[in-house]
Structure 1
C-alpha cells in the first residue's frame, strides 16, 4: 500500500491494521504530511515524533475491541493533554498539563494517539480563525479565505488529511463554522454529553468539546468513544450512550423561509442551500419553511451582557493583571464586560427565557432543522479591514444553537458553482444526536463531496436500507417473529413492516432457550467473546409499541441492540436468568441457520 496517498479514514486505517499495517508506520506518515503541509499555523505544539512512535508501539497488535486503535488525532489548545502545554493561543497563559482532559483520556483508552495541540482564536473567542498571536492557519481549500474559528487549526489538520479526526470546542459555532469553511464534518453534541473536565472554559454554561472528521460515521465513532458521565463536571449529563441511528425517511425538516434567509448578498451560497433542500425532499423528507427571525434574536444575545460576562469570568485574573497579553480584538470583546452589572446579566437571562418560550412552538413544528452552516465567505483581507463585523455574520446560523440546547452536525454537501465548499447543519433537540447524524450521513453520501482538501472520494457505502419514519420505531427481531416464522403475525397485525436483513455488532451470543413451542432465541451482549448474529429490522408504529411490549414473555425483554455499522435499534434481548439449560448456537450465526440445522 502507498502510505503517501492512503486516505486517513477509520475504515481505511482499520482495514490496513487488520492486514498487518503498524501504527508506527502511520505516525511516520502523519509527520511527513505535517512537513508537506508547510503551514506553521496549524499546530501550536507538536509531540516529539519519537514519543509518538513509542506510544504507537505500545498499542501492541491490532485490537478490534479498541474502536479507535491506532487513529492519530489533534487537540485544540484549550483542552489538556498530559505532558503538553495548554496556551489557549495566549503565550502568557501557558501552563503544563499534568493530566489528560476527561475526553482525551477516554479517546486514548480507545486506542487513539494525540499528536499535538492546534491553533485557535485566542480563548476560543471568535469564528474567524485569525485572532491568534501565532501564525494563522491557512484555509485548506482556499488560502485567501479565513480558516474559521475558533477551532481553526483542528479543522485545517483534518481537511488536509494530516489526522483522521480532531477535537475542537463549540460555544457559538466554533465546531461548525471551521468545518464549513474547510469542507469537513463538524459534530457539536448535546451539551453535557462530552465532559468539560480539562477544558479551559469560554462560556462554561454553553461550552462543549466538538469533533471534526472527514465523514459522519468517523465523527460519530469518536463521539461514542468519548461520551460519558463525569462526576467531576457539574454540567455533565448522565444521558443514554449515543448510537448512530439507522437513517429514516419522511422526517419534517424545518428550514428558514425565504423572507428570513440571510446570505448577505452571496447568491451562490443561496443557490447551494436551495439545492440541498431539493436533495432532502428527494430523499423523502418533508420541508417546512419557518420564520427564523426569533432565532436570530436569541443569537444576538450571545455577545451581549450575561455571556460576555461569563467569558470575562473565565479569564478575569489575566485580563485584570495582564491585559496587554491578550490579542487586541479579543481583549476588546471580553473587556466590554467590565461595564456590565449583575442586573444586566439577569436581564439577559430573563430575556433568553422569554425568547425560549416563544420559539419552542416554532421548533416543535419540525422533527429537525436544516440551516446553511455559514451565510457567506470572508477573506483574510476582509478581517484586516473589519475584525468584528464578518465574525458576527458567520455566526448567523450558529450563535443560537447552544443557547437553545440543540445538538448539531455540520455536513459537507456538493461543491458550490464557484468551487468553494458547500455545507449545511442539521439541528435537533438535546439527545437526538444519533438521529441527525444518521440523516447527515445519508446526505453526505447523496451529495458525495470530496473529503476536505485531500481530493479523496467518499468511500462507497452500501445502499442504505429502507428506514423507519418519524411515527415508527425500528425494532430488531432475531427469532420467531421474523418473516415466515410462527410469531411473525404478531408484528404484521400491529402494522409492522420489514425494513432490512442486518447483523448485530460482533458482541453477542445467541442461545436456543429451553421450552416451547415455539422455540425462542435468547440474544445476550458480552464484553468479549461475541459474534455477529443475523437479524431482521422491522418498523413498528409508535402507538403500537406498548401493545407489542405486553406480548414479550420473560426471560425475553426489549432493549438496545447494536448493529454491525455501529447504529442501534430497539430489539429482543434475553435476561441471564433464562440461560440455564439453553443451547449456545452462536456459531451458527442466526436463528434461521439453527432451524435449518435442526431440521436436517
Structure 2
C-alpha cells in the first residue's frame, strides 16, 4: 500500500520491497481518475504512454533503484518542453509540439524519472495565484474555495494531492514558492543560472529559474542537483561552485515591525512568529533587518521596465493573437508598451543602487527568513481584484531573482483552525542553494506539519539533510542533555543543534546513576542482551566546541562509539560498567525521558 504522498524515500523503499514501476503507473492512473480537481493538468500523459515508459525503464535498467530517480513519477509545468507532449503555456492558440526535451527533462529522464503530464499555470507564467488559465483554476488541496497559488499552480497541486513525487515549476516573481506555501510543500528556487532554461517558454528571460516542488527538502535538493549544470545553449547559464554558510548558530534575518505586512491576516503573522521561535530553538541567532531596499527592488519587477521582458517573450504572438490572451495577462503584458529604452536603463540603475543598499543588511545576517506569502485569498476574491491581490502574494518573493538569490520555501504549519497552511522561506546570497538546505530541513521537521495534503505524515529520516561532516561533529546524547532536559543548554550554548531523534541498537542497557546532580543515566552495552534499544538524540557541535565539551564530561561518563538501530556508529555518552553496580536498571522504560516522566508522576 503506497502512502498518500509519494515522497522519494517511501517510493524507493517500496521498489526495494518488490513494487514494479508498472504497478506504480497503474496507481498513478487510478489516482488521477479519482482526483476531484480537473484543472491540475493541461495534457496528462496517456495511460498507454505511462505503461510504455515503465516498460522501457524495466528493459533498460531492470534492477530496482539502479538509477537515482528510478521509476519516480513527476509532473511538468506546461511552459517547459517535453518531447511527445504539446507546450501551450496555458494558451491553446500558442501551442507547439517540441521535438526535443528541455535540458532539465532530458537529465531527469536519464536518471529514471517518468513524466506523468503537463500541468496548468497562469497563462505565460504571468501571475502568482493560479486563476489566469482557460483550463480553469487548480485549487488548494485543503479548501477548494481557495487559490492554489501560481503561476506553477497545477505542478504544486499534483505533488500535494499525491499524484507525483515531485514536479517542476518556473519562478520569476515567486511562482516556485507561493504555491508551495498554499499546499504544504517544499519549493526549491535555485540561484538564477544554476539550472539551465533551455526548452522553456520565457516570462522574463534574464531572471527566470526552473524550480522543484517536493514533499521534503531532501527530495527537492536531490532533484535539483540532477538538473544542475552549465549549458552553453542558455545565455544566462552559469558554472559556479556552491557557497558556504555557517552550519552552527547562523544569523537569521527576520522582518522588523516597520516592514511587516500581512494585509490583515493575523493567522499567517502568528505562524511567521512561531517559525522565528523555532529557528531560535534550533540554535539560530535572530537578527531583525531592514527589508526596505529588498521591497523596493521587488517593486521593480511589475512596476518597472522588467515587465517589458514579458512582452519581448511573446510580442509576435501578441501582435497576431491578442484576443487569445487572458484579459489580466494581456493587461499586464501590454503595460510594457509604456516603457522605452531609457526607462530600461533607468530601471537597471535603480536596481543596482538598491543592491548596494542591501549589502549593509547582508553584513548583519547569513540568510533571511521571510513569509512566503503574507496572506491568501479565495478564487472569488482573487478574480474580483486580480492585480492588486496578486501583488500581495509577491511582497516577499519578487526581489529574489532580481537580486541573484537562492531560496527554499518550507511549510510553517496551519492556521489556528487547522484549516489552511502557510509557509516561510529561507533566502540566501547566490549559490547558497545547498548551504540553506540543512536549516530548511530542520525547520520543516520542527513545524510538524506533514507533507502535502497528508498533514499527519512523518518526514522520513532518510530524506534528512545535514551539514557536511567537516563542519560539525555529531554526538549522541541519552540523558540530561536531551531536548528540554536540564543540561541541554550546554549544547545550544556551544552552537549545537539537534540533527535527529533515534534509538540505539538493542544491545544497550540504561541505568539511573545514584548521587548525580542533576540526575543522569548511564548507558552500557551488553552484547548478550537483546532489547528494543534506548531512545537517544543525535546533536551536532562545531569541532572546537565538541573538544571542549568532551573535556568537561565527569566520570564515570565518557565518549565512545554507540551503535544505532540504523547500523551507524556515532560518538556519544557511555558509562563505565563498574559505576552501574547497585544502580537501578531502567532499560524497560525505553529511555531517560520516559523514566523521568514516570518518576515525576509518582512523586
TM-score range, shorter chain: 0.7 to 0.9
Tell me if the contact between 1:145 and 1:380 (Cα under 8 Å) persists in the aligned partners.
yes
Deviations, residues 411-454 of structure 1 (Å, cap 9, x unaligned): 01222213210310000011111121111111111111021113
Tell me if the contact between 1:42 and 1:157 (Cα under 8 Å) persists in the aligned partners.
yes
Deviations, residues 142-188 of structure 1 (Å, cap 9, x unaligned): 11111110000000101101101000000000000011111111110
| Residues in 2 aligned to 1:31 and 1:258: alpha-carbon distance in whole angstroms | 49
Q: 1:46 aligns with which of 44, 68, 73?
A: 44
Cα distance change on mapping 1:403 and 1:467 into 2, 3 Å? closer
| Residues in 2 aligned to 1:458 and 1:6: alpha-carbon distance in whole angstroms | 12
| Residues in 2 aligned to 1:7 and 1:96: alpha-carbon distance in whole angstroms | 31
| Residues in 2 aligned to 1:192 and 1:500: alpha-carbon distance in whole angstroms | 31
Tell me if the contact between 1:173 and 1:399 (Cα under 8 Å) persists in the aligned partners.
yes
Cα deviation for residue 496 of structure 1 reads 14
In the other structure, the counterpart of 1:21 is: 19
| Residues in 2 aligned to 1:339 and 1:497: alpha-carbon distance in whole angstroms | 54
Deviations, residues 321-358 of structure 1 (Å, cap 9, x unaligned): 21111111000001011122111111111110111111
| Residues in 1 aligned to 2:48 and 2:323: alpha-carbon distance in whole angstroms | 37
| Residues in 2 aligned to 1:39 and 1:373: alpha-carbon distance in whole angstroms | 24
TM-score, length basis structure 2: 0.76
Cα deviation for residue 459 of structure 1 reads 3.0
In the other structure, the counterpart of 1:531 is: none
Tell me if the contact between 2:138 and 2:157 (Cα under 8 Å) persists in the aligned partners.
yes
Tell me if the contact between 2:249 and 2:495 (Cα under 8 Å) persists in the aligned partners.
no
TM-score, length basis structure 1: 0.77
In the other structure, the counterpart of 1:259 is: 258
Tell me if the contact between 2:82 and 2:102 (Cα under 8 Å) persists in the aligned partners.
yes
| Residues in 2 aligned to 1:204 and 1:287: alpha-carbon distance in whole angstroms | 35
Tell me if the contact between 1:411 and 1:440 (Cα under 8 Å) persists in the aligned partners.
yes
SS in 2 for 1:86: coil
Cα deviation for residue 540 of structure 1 reads 5.1
SS in 1 for 2:457: coil
| Residues in 2 aligned to 1:82 and 1:88: alpha-carbon distance in whole angstroms | 15
Cα deviation for residue 64 of structure 1 reads 3.4
| Residues in 1 aligned to 2:385 and 2:495: alpha-carbon distance in whole angstroms | 58
- Spell out the pairing of 1:195-234 with structure 2 (5 A cutoff): 195-234=196-235
In the other structure, the counterpart of 1:180 is: 181
In the other structure, the counterpart of 2:379 is: 380
1:84 maps onto 2:85 in alignment: yes
In the other structure, the counterpart of 1:404 is: 403
In the other structure, the counterpart of 2:356 is: 357
Deviations, residues 535-564 of structure 1 (Å, cap 9, x unaligned): xx984579xxxxxxxxxxxxxxxxxxxxxx
Cα distance change on mapping 1:198 and 1:456 into 2, 3 Å? farther
In the other structure, the counterpart of 1:318 is: 317
Cα deviation for residue 319 of structure 1 reads 1.1
SS in 1 for 2:211: strand
Tell me if the contact between 1:248 and 1:466 (Cα under 8 Å) persists in the aligned partners.
no
1:127 maps onto 2:128 in alignment: yes
In the other structure, the counterpart of 1:522 is: none
| Residues in 2 aligned to 1:362 and 1:120: alpha-carbon distance in whole angstroms | 35
Tell me if the contact between 1:167 and 1:210 (Cα under 8 Å) persists in the aligned partners.
yes
| Residues in 2 aligned to 1:357 and 1:378: alpha-carbon distance in whole angstroms | 35
Q: Which runs of 4+ in 1 moved over 6 A?
A: 462-469, 495-501
Name stretches of at least 5 consecutive residues in structure 2 with no aligned partner: 475-493, 501-539, 546-565, 567-603
Deviations, residues 68-127 of structure 1 (Å, cap 9, x unaligned): 110000000000000110000011100001100000000000010011100000000000
RMSD: 2.8
- Spell out the pairing of 1:448-467 with structure 2 (5 A cutoff): 448-455=448-455, 457-461=457-461
Tell me if the contact between 1:90 and 1:122 (Cα under 8 Å) persists in the aligned partners.
yes
| Residues in 1 aligned to 2:187 and 2:300: alpha-carbon distance in whole angstroms | 23
In the other structure, the counterpart of 1:286 is: 285
Cα deviation for residue 473 of structure 1 reads 3.5
How many residue pairs match? The answer is 485
In the other structure, the counterpart of 2:522 is: none
Cα distance change on mapping 1:296 and 1:50 into 2, 3 Å? same
| Residues in 1 aligned to 2:428 and 2:77: alpha-carbon distance in whole angstroms | 25
| Residues in 2 aligned to 1:421 and 1:287: alpha-carbon distance in whole angstroms | 23
Tell me if the contact between 2:5 and 2:162 (Cα under 8 Å) persists in the aligned partners.
yes
Cα distance change on mapping 1:70 and 1:241 into 2, 3 Å? farther
Cα deviation for residue 247 of structure 1 reads 9.1
- Spell out the pairing of 1:195-594 with structure 2 (5 A cutoff): 195-240=196-241, 248-418=247-417, 419-455=419-455, 457-461=457-461, 473-474=471-472, 539=542
SS in 1 for 2:150: coil
Cα distance change on mapping 1:497 and 1:7 into 2, 3 Å? closer
1:8 maps onto 2:9 in alignment: no
| Residues in 1 aligned to 2:148 and 2:495: alpha-carbon distance in whole angstroms | 48
